[in-house]
Amino acid sequence: MKTKLFLCIFIFTLFMFSKAEEISDLIQKGDGLFIKRDNPSNLSNSYKIYKSALLKESKNAEILWRLTRWCAWVANNSLKKNLINEGIEYAKKAISINPLCYQAHYWLGILYGLKADQNNPLISLFLVNSIKKEMNEVIKLKPDYDSGGAYIVLGRTYFKMPKIIGGSSEKAKEYLEKATKYKPVNPISLLFLADLYISKGEKEKPKYFLPRLLKNFFRILCS
């Protein structure tokens, strides 16, 4: 009896290990294609691979946050509302499985932002707190994720929000400047900072960092 029990446990362990290894391989393959997402075929195939991995293990936060990221990236470039909602569902599932999954929190916040941009002002106002909640969670768990991306999102959110509901150019500046500490020549944070300074009438300040941005931009083009 003990021998049979041991054999069953051994076979089950072997099966689970083989399954985990297969899922890991699929995730790596999907990541490899997503990195080269400028090619539409790679982008499409990365989604298919992530989905096939999810079919093998539906409660895997590592797969779910990657699908969230995929939906956020494609929705941002195509403005497909159905992808925003799909991504939000993936993120919520990932967080329910692993509340410490900072990637899911981050891309969920991005998706809320995209959803806010597509809806009327009233609905957008209700989403602001959700955006701030997710980004603050990322800062708590992994502040340097996506080159301080959570700080950029919060900075831009405070900049665009009306003052009557909590908008603040000072808070926007604080968050955007924090983002530059993680990546000093991040084009997004620097452009948002330039926009902020110009809106405040401080037109001289962008002159100090925009040359660095342009230099880095041309370096990337020529590499």
C-beta of residue 176 within 8 angstroms of C-beta of residue 157? no
More confident residue, 11 or 112: 112
C-beta of residue 30 within 8 angstroms of C-beta of residue 18? no
3-state helix, strand, coil split of the chain in percent (to 5) is: 80, 0, 20
Residue whose tokens read 């919520």: 92
How does pLDDT run across 135-181, given as a tens digit for each residue?
Answer: 999 999 999 999 999 999 999 999 988 887 788 889 999 999 899 88
Between CA 59 and CA 64, with CA 61 as vertex, the angle to 5 degrees is 90
Structure tokens at 44: 């499409």
pTM above 0.85, yes or no: no
CA–CA dist 152, 155 (Å, integer): 5
More confident residue, 194 or 65: 65
Residue whose tokens read 């096939």: 52
To which H or E segment does residue 197 belong? helix 187-199
- Show the domains of the chain with their CATH numbers: 48-142 (1.25.40.10)
**Summary mean pLDDT of the chain:** 83
Question: What is the structure's pLDDT at 150?
Answer: 96
**CB within 8 Å of 42: residues ≥ 6 apart:** 33, 34, 36
Structure tokens at 169: 């150019």
Nearest to 121 by CA among 172, 188, 167, 86: 167
